[in-house]
Amino acid sequence: MKTNEQQDLEMYQAALQLEYPWYVIRKEFDLNNGRLDIYLDFDRKGNFPCATCGAKNQPFYDIVVKERVWRHLDFWQYTSFLHAPLPRVRCEQCDKVKAASVSWSRPGSGFTELFEFRVLELVKEMPVNAAARIMREHDTRLWRTLRFYVHKELEKQDLSKVTKVAIDETSSKRGHQYVSLVVDIQQRKVIFATEGKDASTLKRFKAELETKNGAAEQIEEFCSDLSPAFIQGVKTHFPNANHTFDKFHILKLINDAVDEVRRQEQREIPELKRSRYVWLKNEKNLNVKQKEQLIRLKEMNLKTTKAYHLKLAFQDFWTRPALLADLYLQEWYNWAVRSRLEAMVQVAKTIKHHKQGILQWFQSKITNGLLGINSLVQAAKRKARGYRTIQNLMTMIYLIAGKLEIAK
C-alpha cells in the first residue's frame, strides 16, 4: 500500500506530465517565503534526446550538471521551481558526447515551456512589465524569452511571394529614435523592422528579403510617405518597383498647410483661436457646436477659408477618373499657386514635384493608412512600455503586428 508521501509525489509527477525515465523524488515547501521546490531524477538506464541535433533515444553517458533549476508555473499560491540533474548522452548522429534535452524546457532556458507560453499569452493582452508582476519575475528575463521565440519564428519566414510593400517609421523614445517598418500589403503584416529611417533601411530590407527566399526584382509596388531617404532607398535598391506616395501623408501635408495659414491669420482675427479642428476634421465628423463655428467663420471671408476650400478640392482629387487625374491635379496646382497663401503655395510645389508617385495611386490603389497596422504598432508600443532597448520594441512589434503564430 502506497504511503501518503508516495501518493503526493505521484500527483506531482502526473501534474508535471513527466514520462520515463524522469520521476519526482521529493518536494519542499517554504511556507514563509511562499515557495515550492520539486526535485526530479531519472533512471540511468533510460535514453534521452540530444539537445544539439534532436536525435531521440540516445544512451545516457554521464551527468554534466548535478542540479539545474527551472522556474515553473505557480502551484496554487506558491512560486514553484523544478530541480533536476542534467544528463549527457553519447549521440550517434553528432558522434560526440552532448547535453541531453529535457521535455519540460528548451535548452538554455531558466523557465519551463509552460511558464514561457503563459508569458506569451499575457504579453499579447498587457504590457510586459505588468506581465512580469503577475508572473513574479523580472521583466528583463521575460524580454529574453520573447526575443527568443520571435527570432525563432522570423527565421522560418518565407518572403518569396511578397510583391507589394509599404514602409513607414514610428518613433520610439520621445521621438529621439525611430524604427522603420516594412509591411506586406497583401498579408497585412509587418515583415521587417529595423532601427533608423534613412535610405539604408531599404538596403537592410533587401538583404532580409534575399535571405528568406525573396529578391528585390519581385517587388512590384512600394508605398511610402515623401521621405527623401525612402524615395532614394527605393530608387537605389528596388529600381523595378513602382512607387506610390501614401495619400494620407499627402493629405496631412495639406492639413498642416491649412493650419499654418490659420495660425498666421489668428494674430489678426481672434475668432480663429481654438478653431484648429474645425478646419482639419472632415465636416461630417464635426459635432453640432463645431459645425456652427465653421459656418460663422466661413462668412468672414478669411484666408483660412480659402485654404480650407483648397483642401476640400484636393480631397476630391482621389475620386476623379484615372484618365482625368493628371489634369485635375494640374488645375488644383494652378489654383493653389494663385491663392498667394505661402503655406499652400509651398505644399502645391511639393505635390507637383512628386506628381508621378501621387498619380501612381490610381494604378496601385495602395496606401499605408488603410492597413490597420498603425493601430497594431501603437498597441505594441503600449505593451512594450518600459522596453528599455529599441530591440525590445521591435520584438513586440513583430509579436503584435507581425501576426506570428508561436506554436506550443
**How many Å apart are CA 124 and CA 136, to the nearest integer?**
18
Give the model confidence (pLDDT) of 41-60 as tens digits. Answer: 999 999 999 999 999 999 99
Q: 3-state SS of 5-72?
A: HHHHHHHHHHHCCCCCCEEEEEEEEECCCCEEEEEEEECCCCEECECCCCCCCEEEEEEEEEEEEEEE
Lowest mean pLDDT of 49-63, 230-244, 380-394, name the range: 380-394
User: What integer is the mean pLDDT of 226-252?
Assistant: 95
- Locate 179 and state its grid cell: 524604427
pLDDT over threshold 70, residue 279 = yes
Which listed CATH number (3.30.300.30, 3.40.50.300, 3.30.420.10, 3.40.50.720) goes with 164-244? Answer: 3.30.420.10
Closest CA to 86 of 107, 71, 72, 100: 100
**How many Å apart are CA 61 and CA 84, to the nearest integer?**
16
Rg, Å, the chain Cα set: 30
Lowest mean pLDDT of 71-75, 344-348, 397-401, name the range: 397-401
**How many Å apart are CA 256 and CA 276, to the nearest integer?**
10
**How many Å apart are CA 211 and CA 193, to the nearest integer?**
15
H helical segments located in 266-341: 276-280, 288-298, 303-317, 322-338
**How many Å apart are CA 117 and CA 310, to the nearest integer?**
54
pLDDT over threshold 80, residue 97 = yes
CA 365, 368, 369, 371 torsion-angle sign = positive
pLDDT over threshold 70, residue 384 = no
pLDDT over threshold 60, residue 371 = no
pLDDT band at 275 (very low <50, low <70, confident <90, very high): very high
pLDDT band at 149 (very low <50, low <70, confident <90, very high): very high
Inter-residue contact 62 to 84 (CB < 8 Å): no
Mean pLDDT of all residues belonging to the chain: 92
> How is the chain split into domains, by residue range?
4-110, 164-244, 247-364
Mark residue 365 as left, alpha or beta (left: phi above 0; alpha: psi -120 to 50; beta: remaining): left
Closest CA to 305 of 350, 339, 349: 339
pLDDT over threshold 80, residue 1 = no
Share of the chain above pLDDT 70, in %: 95
User: What integer is the mean pLDDT of 210-234?
Assistant: 96
CA distances in angstroms from 317 to 3, 321, 330, 348, listed in the order given:
83, 9, 11, 13
Inter-residue contact 112 to 71 (CB < 8 Å): yes
pLDDT over threshold 80, residue 380 = no
Give the model confidence (pLDDT) of 329-350 as tens digits. Answer: 999 999 999 999 999 999 999 9
pLDDT band at 372 (very low <50, low <70, confident <90, very high): low
**How many Å apart are CA 376 and CA 374, to the nearest integer?**
5
The C-alpha cell 523524488 sits at: 25
User: What integer is the mean pLDDT of 93-104?
Assistant: 94
pLDDT band at 175 (very low <50, low <70, confident <90, very high): low
pLDDT over threshold 70, residue 298 = yes
pTM of the model: 0.86
